[in-house]
């Protein structure tokens, strides 16, 4: 049993388990954590194929930035409630159709590989060899990025600026605050006010009226929200 | 022992990439939570990057790895804009599904 086989089997198992976890997890937080498993497994497979720089970038960008962004959004919006996968509004037979389609994609790729006898067709190293004498992969990759692919590299900076502008425009709050309706907010605020009062009563502190005002304010707000909705 | 004769050929990586891509596609069609659908898109992107790196090794060409760098940049930009849209959607209705994207109209 070679080391590469050992590494491949474990990394592939992590990838597949993570991918299945993303699909079947009811809780979005669990799905995000399963995604980390897949991304990490792929980073290990990069390492096994001598793509050391890409493995590091994979862990830093994906596991370190993208998944954290996902978790930020999940926690920030409080959408981490468990969803029931059975009552999701899926059309009749869509689940079966999806599985058939997914299996079909995999079968197609495997058949294509089989038809070429499991080998890549095409010329070897038409432009720049990956493995050069005494040079790590990051040198070779950097040289390619800043010579042949330098125009594409510069274009990515434009893409990133556009993405930042788009995120700012999308994340900006609406000018009219009335447009934003959070159905649970007033209720939550009232609950918190009541809990403060209860805790103080339990602790033997006389409610000095300030908390009662809070509760009243929260109730007023709830009524206003109902009116806006109506 | 049979296992001793087994060698990991690049085709194994390609098949694994295809399977992960298929799982991502299934998830994208089966799930209705926009956040989880987005994660499934990430799965598909990663399957493709794995395939690129494998072909890069098979053909001994640096172009595959260079493409993976660009895929990473595009994925980062896509996540930023996509999550912005999802935040805008979920702010209007916390239990929104992909069917509610029309809420953002106008």
pLDDT at A176 over 80: no
**pLDDT, tens digit (0-9, with 9 covering 90-100), for A107-144:** 999 999 899 888 777 666 656 667 666 778 888 899 89
Contact B59/A123, CB-based, under 8 Å? yes
Between A61 and B7, whose confidence is greater?
Answer: A61
Residue with tokens 């959004």: A73
- CA-based nearest residue to A12, from B2, B41, B50: B50
Q: A206: pLDDT confidence band, cut at 50, 70 and 90? A: low
In this structure, of A76-80, A135-139, B52-56, B70-74, the range with the lowest mean pLDDT score is A76-80
Crossing angle for the helix pair A67-77 and B34-58, to the nearest 10 degrees: 180
CA distances from A215 to A188, A196, A206 (A): 11, 10, 16
CB-based contact A144 B66, cutoff 8 Å: yes
> B44 CB near a chain A CB, below 8 Å?
no
What is the reported pLDDT for A158?
95
The more confident residue out of B67 and A93 is: B67
Does A38 lie at the interface with B, CB-CB under 8 angstroms? yes
Overall average pLDDT of the B51-57 stretch: 92
Write phi, then psi, for A59 (nearest 5 degrees). -65, -45
pLDDT the model gives residue B104: 77
Percent of residues, chain B, with pLDDT higher than 70: 94
Pairwise CB contact (< 8 Å): A38 & B3: no
pLDDT for res A174: 59
A98 close contact with B: CB closer than 8 A: yes
The span from the first CA to the last CA of chain B, in angstroms, equals 66
Q: Which residue has the higher pLDDT, A70 or A123?
A: A70
Q: How confident is the model at residue A92 (pLDDT cuts 50, 70, 90)?
A: low
B20 at the A interface (CB within 8 A)? yes
Residue B103 contacts A, CB cutoff 8 Å? no
Instruction: Name the residue among A6, A58, A136, A50 with its Cα closest to residue B8.
Output: A6
Mean pLDDT of B67-94: 89
pLDDT of B7: 81
* B101 and A CB contact within 8 Å: no
In the structure, what pLDDT confidence band is assigned to residue A154 with cuts at 50, 70 and 90?
A: very high
Provide mean pLDDT across the span B26-37: 89
Cross-chain Cβ contact B43/A31 below 8 Å: no
Q: How confident is the model at residue A202 (pLDDT cuts 50, 70, 90)?
A: confident
Give per-residue pLDDT as tens, A9-56.
Answer: 999 999 999 999 999 988 889 999 999 999 999 999 999 998 999 999
Of residues B16 and A210, more confidence is placed in B16
**Looking at this predicted complex, what is its ipTM?**
0.91
Q: CA distances (Å), A106 to each of A21, A35, A45, A110, in order?
A: 19, 20, 19, 6
Query: Residues of A numbered 108-137 whose beta carbons fall under 8 angstroms of chain B's beta carbons: which are they?
Result: 109-110, 113, 118-120, 122-131, 137
| Interface list for A 160-219 with B (CB within 8 A) | 160, 162-164, 166-167, 169-171, 180-184
pLDDT of A173 reads: 67
Rounded to an integer, the average pLDDT of A89-109 is 85
Q: Helices marked H in A25-149 — which ranges? A: 28-48, 52-57, 67-77, 94-115, 137-146
* Mean pLDDT, all residues of chain A: 82
């Amino acid at each position: 049993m070679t080391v590469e086989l050992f590494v491949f089997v474990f990394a592939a198992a992590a990838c597949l388990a993570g991918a299945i976890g993303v699909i079947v997890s009811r809780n979005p937080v669990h799905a995000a954590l399963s995604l980390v498993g897949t991304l990490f497994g792929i980073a290990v497979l990069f390492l096994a194929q001598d793509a050391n720089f890409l493995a590091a970038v994979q862990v830093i960008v994906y596991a370190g930035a993208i998944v954290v962004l996902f978790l930020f959004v999940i926690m920030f919006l409080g959408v981490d409630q468990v969803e029931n996968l059975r009552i999701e509004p899926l059309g009749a037979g869509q689940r079966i159709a999806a599985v058939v389609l997914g299996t079909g994609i995999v079968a197609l790729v495997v058949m294509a590989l089989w038809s070429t006898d499991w080998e890549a067709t095409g010329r070897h190293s038409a432009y720049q060899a990956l493995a050069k004498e005494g040079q790590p992969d990051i040198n070779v990759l950097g040289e390619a990025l800043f010579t042949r692919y330098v125009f594409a590299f510069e274009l990515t900076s434009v893409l990133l600026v556009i993405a930042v502008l788009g995120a700012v425009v999308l994340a900006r709050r609406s000018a009219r605050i009335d447009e934003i309706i959070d159905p649970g907010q007033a209720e939550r605020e009232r609950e918190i006010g009541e809990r403060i009062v209860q805790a103080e009563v339990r602790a033997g502190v006389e409610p000095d009226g300030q908390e009662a005002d809070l509760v009243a304010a929260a109730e007023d707000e709830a009524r206003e929200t109902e009116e806006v909705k109506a | 022992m049979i296992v001793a004769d087994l060698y990991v050929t690049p085709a194994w990586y390609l098949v694994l990439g295809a399977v992960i891509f298929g799982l991502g596609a299934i998830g994208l069609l089966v799930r209705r939570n926009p956040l989880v659908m987005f994660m499934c898109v990430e799965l598909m992107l990663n399957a493709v990057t794995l395939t690129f790196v494998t072909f890069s090794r098979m053909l001994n060409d640096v172009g595959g790895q260079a493409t993976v760098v660009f895929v990473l940049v595009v994925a980062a930009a896509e996540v930023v804009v996509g999550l912005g849209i999802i935040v805008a959607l979920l702010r209007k209705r916390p239990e929104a599904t992909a069917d509610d994207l029309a809420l953002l109209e106008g």
